[in-house]
Amino acid sequence: DAGVTQSPTHLIKTRGQHVTLRCSPISGHKSVSWYQQVLGQGPQFIFQYYEKEERGRGNFPDRFSARQFPNYSSELNVNALLLGDSALYLCASSLGRESYEQYFGPGTRLTVT
Partner 1 sequence: GIQVEQSPPDLILQEGANSTLRCNFSDSVNNLQWFHQNPWGQLINLFYIPSGTKQNGRLSATTVATERYSLLYISSSQTTDSGVYFCAVERGGGGATNKLIFGTGTLLAVQP
Q: Does 106 bind partner 1 (CB under 8 A)?
A: yes
Toward partner 1, which CB reaches closer, 14 or 41? 41
How far is Cα of residue 9 from the mean position of the Cα atoms in its chain? 12
Measured from the CB of residue 27, what is the shortest distance to partner 1 in angstroms?
A: 17
Determine the Cα angle at 97 with ends 92 and 102, to 5°: 30
Q: Give the x/- contact pattern for partner 1 in 16-35, rule: CB under 8 A.
A: ---------------x-x-x
Cα 26 from Cα 35, distance rounded (Å): 17
Among 68, 74, 107, 112, binds partner 1 (CB under 8 A): 107
**Looking only at residues 35 through 74 of this chain, which bind partner 1 when binding is defined by CB under 8 A?**
35, 37, 41-45, 48, 50, 55-56, 58
